[in-house]
Structure 1
Amino acid sequence: MRLVDSPPALARTAKELTGARQLFIDTEFESTREHRTLCLLQISRGETIYLVDTLRVHDLSPLAPVLQAEDTEWVLHAGQQDVLLLIERLKLKQPPPIFDTQIAWGLLGPEPSVSLAYLQFKVLGLRAGKAHQADDWKRRPLPQSQLAYAAGDIEHLPELRDELGARLRSKGREQCVLDASRDALVPSEDPPPELNLDSFRNAWQLEPPNQAALRALMDWYNGLPSHKRAQAPAPKTLLAIASRLPEEGQDVVRIKGVPQGWGRRYGDQVAALVVKAVNSARDGDFIPIDPPPYATFEEIRLDAYFATLRAEVCAKLAAAPELALPTRVLRRLRHALLEGGVDAALAELDGWRGDLCRGAVEAHLSQHPPPLERKQG
């Protein structure tokens, strides 16, 4: 274990790490709502563990060529935040090849999210303490016991990488973990979908002027780029705006669910949109809507069917459901299956997830057809 707390020491460290085939990495950082402060970087090529004091060594650029070397794999545990923080701090051009031991474990069994200590025990038979887990990493100097704890976070990553890699190779999944680890760096939520009247459970209660306002709000919302939709009020809040028919921006801000900053910025625009829609509404534009049911047995059976599909497919693959078929993917799979059939559903499984799951999902759909006919156009 070697503490790196000066520019000359960092330069020596970078030289000693150059050419490493694998780098074993962890970070300690402090987070607020607005910012994350990198406090310590633990890094090794499998021998000496370097503890880079990033509060005392501000310029980490000597490490950039080492960390962004094309053939150098980063090995981390639950490393999404660590990787993104280092990419930002060192201004790296692209994510490196990543082997995340937590994701590797999820591709070998039912557990998607486990601690490093648990994984070391299950794979290597080691017990680790947690005496410094909640320590203040911004204080200086860091005591020797805290530095030793930080070093321990990467001490056994080489053995974990070897053992998990061997298990994945035996299943033909070593490339899968690299692809899944990289995918974990990208926000996993699907972009907000476009809205229609069916998106609003209580739209059936609206009077003609209110429905006209809601239609205008839907058109405005659907015309936004996906990142702007994510910042806009939730659909239930848009329904509230249509119900209240605000005439001025300050009226929009007062509606429950409207973010204050968003309301101050866009309130006047939204109010003008509503007023225009109401004033230009025609009697023939109104569509009477029947209230939708709160539940149907068809939906209950479908929920059970897709929950079973997920469980059976993942049990057959010996992979964690939350990793192999997370809720957002299952939701897309269900929609595609009901709208377009088996081929459309299988097309939703792409990349590493398609390589892993497509055959098992196709077999399940063939052996156990869904309980309802797909929707007809």
Structure 2
Amino acid sequence: MAEVPDEATPALPETHEPVDVIDTVEGYRAAVATLAAGHGAFAVDAERASGFRYSQRAYLIQVYRRGAGVFLFDPPAIGDLSELANLMAGEEWILHAASQDLACLREVGLDPEVIFDTELGARLAGLPRVGLGTVVEDLLGIHLAKEHSAADWSTRPLPQSWLVYAALDVELLPDLRDAIAQLLEDSGKGEIARQEFAAVLHREPVSRQDPWRRLSGIHALRQQRNLAVARELWQTRDDYAREIDSAPGRLVPDASLLAAARTLPATKHDLAAMKDFNGRASRSQIDRWWAAIERGLATTDLPVARPPGDGMPPPRIWADKNPEADGRLKRARAAVMARAEELDIPVENVLTPDSLRRVAWAPPAEITADTVGEALAELGARLWQVEATAQLIAQAFVEVPQEPESPEEPTS
């Protein structure tokens, strides 16, 4: 349900002028020329069709520049966006939650060199809520309805209300960027933000091993044969979803794949009779799913029940498995949390929990601020994070735990 704005707070979507989608090469080139006549940073956003389509491509790209206005580009219709990319090269791009959009922007050749991430900047500034609508209202006093964020942006034609929503997402970003930048500079966090923005920009994409193990509920399958069937069903669904560009879960949900892998139906008829095997493609593609089950039942390439780990067990069993590491982690975690409170930055932004766990489990042979800092840097910590935490962590690691005092012997 959309939020109801306070009467004193302007709600721009109700007064915004109509917005058009640019879906021709001629319109695109005219828009690029107008943007070239503008000034300052480029505010950028992208709309995908997550939950509806398999691909994570951008179906709409919004660009705003002061002195030029807002332009909504239809990448599939336009095709080559190299002229826009050349115009924006070297300039700062303003995005909200940049990590969500960088991949699909790069897919169409739009790759920034410098960014300002208003969502991350708001976190570092210590704001309690960092969603775009909330931050805009808190810092700019404007109510920004967020009612179309989960829409199917591959829809054509796009409704005017969606286009107004998309335009507002970027029109307000330059003013929001300036307000957040001021907060960061006033609190001495400007350099911290610059390092964090650069880290987002250059972060390598994560490649998952055995992506089929992301099936919701897969941990409930214990036997290798059941896992083999689950793997074949997941891969078959993924291939078909890619082929028709549909979100996999819209074809057959995870729960249905798991039900079939757990039950191991003996025939195609048995599979079709399963009430738990549902979804819009569960019956129309029954031959496809049955062939996957047959492959899983016949294969000799059986997956292991538990994939090999990275040598570091979950922290909940450290106390029994490695009490020294458990002590290091607990003392260091308390120190980092205290530092985060001092900085007024969320603790996960001061240092990732995974980095702290790894250095606590396998600390340097000689524990000093320098060696701990080097270990953190190898794990991806930025310079400011090393400077903020390495000394504290080193001290926590070498701190001798206090033994509980023994009760005094009664005197005779």
TM-score with structure 1 setting the length:
0.65
C-alpha contact 1:29 1:37 (8 A) present in aligned 2? yes
C-alpha contact 1:75 1:161 (8 A) present in aligned 2? yes
- Compared with structure 1, are the counterparts of its residues 188 and 39 closer, same or farther at alpha carbon in structure 2 (3 Å cutoff)? closer
Aligned equivalent of 2:74: 53
Paired residue secondary structure (1:38): coil
Aligned equivalent of 2:95: 76
C-alpha contact 2:93 2:112 (8 A) present in aligned 1? no
Aligned equivalent of 2:332: 306
Q: 2: CA distance between counterparts of 1:154 and 1:296?
A: 50
- Compared with structure 1, are the counterparts of its residues 42 and 33 closer, same or farther at alpha carbon in structure 2 (3 Å cutoff)? closer
Matches within 5 A, 1:146-185: 146-185=162-201
- 1:84: how far off? 1.6
Matches within 5 A, 1:331-350: 331-335=357-361, 337=363, 339-342=365-368, 343-350=370-377
Q: 2: CA distance between counterparts of 1:267 and 1:306?
A: 47
Aligned equivalent of 2:32: 14
- Name the aligned partner's letter for residue 347 of structure 1: E
- Name the aligned partner's letter for residue 25 of structure 1: V
Question: In the alignment, does 2:126 pair up with 1:98?
Answer: no
Q: 1: CA distance between counterparts of 2:319 and 2:41?
A: 56
Q: 2: CA distance between counterparts of 1:368 and 1:21?
A: 46
- 1:230: how far off? 3.7
**Once the two structures are superposed, what CA deviation does each residue of 1:219-253 show, in whole Å capped at 9, x if it has no partner?**
xxxxxxxx7x945999xxxxxxxxxxxxxxxxx97
- 1:319: how far off? 1.5
- 1:171: how far off? 4.1
The counterpart of 1:123, out of the listed 124, 130, 139, is 139
C-alpha contact 1:30 1:137 (8 A) present in aligned 2? yes
Paired residue secondary structure (1:130): coil
- Name the aligned partner's letter for residue 117 of structure 1: G
- 1:133: how far off? 2.6
Q: 2: CA distance between counterparts of 1:366 and 1:140?
A: 57
Q: 1: CA distance between counterparts of 2:354 and 2:205?
A: 8
C-alpha contact 1:305 1:370 (8 A) present in aligned 2? no
- Name the aligned partner's letter for residue 37 of structure 1: R
**Once the two structures are superposed, what CA deviation does each residue of 1:90-120 show, in whole Å capped at 9, x if it has no partner?**
2x5x542111111112222275x73111211
**Once the two structures are superposed, what CA deviation does each residue of 1:161-210 show, in whole Å capped at 9, x if it has no partner?**
11111222334443432332232252476xxxxxxxxxxxxxxxxxxxxx
The counterpart of 1:317, out of the listed 340, 343, 358, is 343
The counterpart of 1:62, out of the listed 68, 83, 90, is 83
C-alpha contact 1:29 1:137 (8 A) present in aligned 2? yes
C-alpha contact 1:316 1:360 (8 A) present in aligned 2? no
Question: In the alignment, does 2:126 pair up with 1:109?
Answer: yes
The counterpart of 2:385, out of the listed 349, 357, 367, is 357
Paired residue secondary structure (1:27): strand
Identical amino acids, percent of aligned pairs: 27
C-alpha contact 2:126 2:345 (8 A) present in aligned 1? yes
Question: In the alignment, does 2:222 pair up with 1:254?
Answer: no
- Compared with structure 1, are the counterparts of its residues 366 and 61 closer, same or farther at alpha carbon in structure 2 (3 Å cutoff)? closer
Paired residue secondary structure (1:99): strand
Matches within 5 A, 1:221-236: 230-231=209-210
Q: 1: CA distance between counterparts of 2:366 and 2:225?
A: 43
- 1:368: how far off? 5.3
- 1:44: how far off? 0.7
**Once the two structures are superposed, what CA deviation does each residue of 1:279-309 show, in whole Å capped at 9, x if it has no partner?**
xxxxxxxxxxxxx984566555434213212
Q: 2: CA distance between counterparts of 1:59 and 1:361?
A: 46
Q: 2: CA distance between counterparts of 1:269 and 1:3?
A: 50
Structure 1: which 5+ runs fail to align? 190-226, 235-251, 272-291
**Once the two structures are superposed, what CA deviation does each residue of 1:28-59 show, in whole Å capped at 9, x if it has no partner?**
11136842232111101134111112343233
- Name the aligned partner's letter for residue 28 of structure 2: L
Q: 1: CA distance between counterparts of 2:104 and 2:115?
A: 14
Matches within 5 A, 1:290-305: 294=320, 298=324, 300-305=326-331
Please provide the CA RMSD for this pair. 3.9
Q: How many pairs does the alignment contain?
A: 295
Q: 1: CA distance between counterparts of 2:352 and 2:319?
A: 27
